[in-house]
Amino acid sequence: MEKKLQELKKRFLQELDGVKDSRLLFDLKNRYLGRQGELTKVLKEVKNLAAEEKPKIGKLANEVKNELTDVFLKTERIINNNQGTTLDFDPSLPGIKETIGHLHPSSIVQYEMEDIFAQMGFGVYDGPQVESEYYNFTALNTPNDHPARDSQDTFWLEQGLLLRSQTSNLQVRMLEKYGAPFRGVFPGRVFRNEATDASHDHTFYQLEGLMVDKNINIGNLIAVMKSFLSEFFNTEVDVRLRPGFFPFVEPGFELDIKCLICDGQGCSVCKQSGWVELMPCGLVHPEVIKAGGLDPQEYSGFAFGLGFTRLVMMRYKIDDIRLLQSGDLRFLKQF
């Protein structure tokens, strides 16, 4: 046993002599002096010695352990000094401010719109972004030869699925699930396979609105839109209605607002027209009412599709829609 201790000490000192790195130094310490190290293994054999030998070997083992520990600590100090681990510290220097995240401008506007519509009695609903052709087109009275079904506008997936091109995909889903009367909005991300420019992107956000009950007419639609826009912009907003065709409404309209970026003078966002196309809207087509499981002779309603990404641009005077999805921190930190 005495011979084993002396050999262990010799090996430790020989290996220690070539160590110049603190990581290797600690590896050596653990291998020899750790709980599962070489010295511990030798000490476990002490119990097998004769009673008269145990005091002598026990004393020698403690001496070896103390000697090796002292040598280790001296070597550790030398290595640390050579590696310059002692750092200068100036307590008068300012600290590093911890940064925190914040909401994206699209989220800010979405939550505000949801609050406004909730105050008007509308529920807020969500639905799938990967949709079937039926709910995205067929149930909305969209003919099979309608241009919107073409690959130029729609991202088609496998097995008849697609990335929804409009949040209108929830109209029939909601009527099937909740029936009438129904009053709700459906905010969410939509996808269009089209070229991008300052006012168009392949990924953007819409808020669909649907109200179905007895005796709903165009006057209800105009009243809701005027109330919402006045509350949202905190001012009277100039709007105009233009006739428009959309398969899921009859009659259909385009609702435009005067461009708030250029105040109607003309800019890249409004394409120099002074007006920004904000939403298609109209009275829900009887075929859509039927697809929702209701009788169009008894129920009517209105629907609108609000491109709220453009409201974000109006609110913050952003002149390029592509900035919103760019991930550019220089842009996002402004909010």
Neighbours of 240 (CB within 10 A): 11
Q: Within a 13 Å sphere around the CA of 222, how many CA atoms are in the beta-carbon half?
A: 10
Which long-range contacts (C-beta less than 8 Å, at least 24 apart) are formed by 267-274? 267/319, 268/198, 268/199, 268/319, 268/320, 269/198, 269/199, 269/310, 269/313, 269/319, 270/199, 271/199
192 three-state secondary structure: coil
- Distant-in-sequence, close-in-space partners of 46: CB < 8 Å, separation ≥ 6: 1, 54, 57, 58, 61
Q: Is 250 part of any known ligand binding site?
A: yes
Evaluate whether 172 touches 288 at the Cβ level (below 8 Å): yes
In angstroms, the CA 317 to CA 311 distance is: 9
Write out the binding residues.
Answer: 250
Write out the binding residues for Mg(2+).
Answer: 250
